[in-house]
Amino acid sequence: MKIMKRLLPLYIIMVYCITAFTGCSGANYEGKDLVDRAKKIHTDQDAAHITVSDRTTYEVLQEITYRFEGDVMQYMYIGRDIETGREYYEFNSGNELDTWQTGDYGWNAVARGSEGYYNYSRAKRHYFADGDLLLNDYSSAVKSAEIRNEVGGLKRVCLQYDDSRIAQYEQMSGVTGYREQYEFDPVFHDGQCINMLVTYQKDGREYSYEIDIEYCDPEEPIKRVGLPAVSGEITENAQ
């Protein structure tokens, strides 16, 4: 999604474009086994709906629904830049890539095999369908970790990072107070991570982002959603 990366603010790209992150030393901490298990569970899933929200404004920044049909990933993605109001839509059926961004009148379609077409598979994973969506790339900088047992059997792993150690990662320059919280459901969902929260400070401003993960029926087709109204036109229906 190269177009959307240009639309999103730098701090969102830093946190959520997982493929750009470097690996960590694999340091152990309390709850790491739960995180590692959830990463594998997420990678093995055939279908999911994921939203990324700004906790300070309660606005959805990114959302995707996907499923694998055989080896091919089909998906519907929407990205929003709340600072500029721009949006980006991307639908991939596995045979055609349809994109739209603010300023376009209608969908831009590229057929499979044509220039500009791209897709994802189980081997070439979209970052939302990869276990590394559950960040944890900086475990060598974990300062403290705590497992909290919640009502209904839910478990939370809360990680606090050391400012001086996390600053050694180039991508985290200027970041302080970095924290992650994972919520797992070992009772009804076999240890799946159903929610993740990331908070930190940078340049005198606090950022807080939340990822919600819901696994779906892989037999349910992925639909292309309607576009926002353009120049007073009626919003296109889902199809």
Residue bearing tokens 């340091």: 27
Average pLDDT over residues 169-192: 88
* CA–CA separation, 87 and 102 (whole Å): 5
Please return the burial class of 76, using the count of CB atoms within 10 Å of its CB with bins 0-12, 13-18 and 19+: buried
Output the pLDDT for position 16.
39
The tens digit of pLDDT for each residue in 98-154 reads 999 999 988 999 999 999 999 999 999 998 999 888 766 677 889 999 999 988 888
State the pLDDT confidence band at 14, using cuts at 50, 70 and 90.
Answer: very low
Sign of the four-CA dihedral 102, 105, 111, 114: negative
Both tokens assigned to 182: 């994972």
CATH number belonging to domain 2-215: 2.50.20
Is residue 233 predicted with pLDDT exceeding 90? no
Please return the burial class of 38, using the count of CB atoms within 10 Å of its CB with bins 0-12, 13-18 and 19+: buried
Is residue 11 predicted with pLDDT exceeding 60? no
% the chain with pLDDT above 90: 60
DSSP letter at 23?
P
The tens digit of pLDDT for each residue in 70-105 reads 999 999 999 999 889 899 999 999 999 999 999 998
Output the pLDDT for position 136.
61
* CA–CA separation, 211 and 196 (whole Å): 5
